[in-house]
Amino acid sequence: ILVTAPEFQGRGVGRLLCNEGLQIADREKLSAWLEASARGRRLYQKLGFENVENILIDLGK
């Protein structure tokens, strides 16, 4: 699980953390996938992830 504290969001910290994790996965020949909120979509697309499925979760229930 990877999260960025609110005070560090929008400052490139999430990108650095994701890139480090992806480099480790590549080095170890591991698959990588992502489950994320819509809020982070732009970041993940910039990192090369592609949307393959959307799931709506109703937190009001």
DSSP of 1-61: -----GGGTTTTHHHHHHHHHHHHHHHTT--------GGGHHHHHHTT----------TT-
Residues 3-51: tens digit of each pLDDT? 889 898 889 998 999 999 999 999 999 998 888 888 888 888 988 888 8
CA angle 60, 35, 1 (to 5 degrees): 100
Nearest to 18, CA basis, from 4, 6, 29, 39: 4
Which pLDDT score is estimated for 55? 86
What is the pTM (predicted TM-score) of this model? 0.70
In the chain, the amino acid numbered 23 is Q
pLDDT at residue 54 above 70? yes
Which pLDDT score is estimated for 39? 82
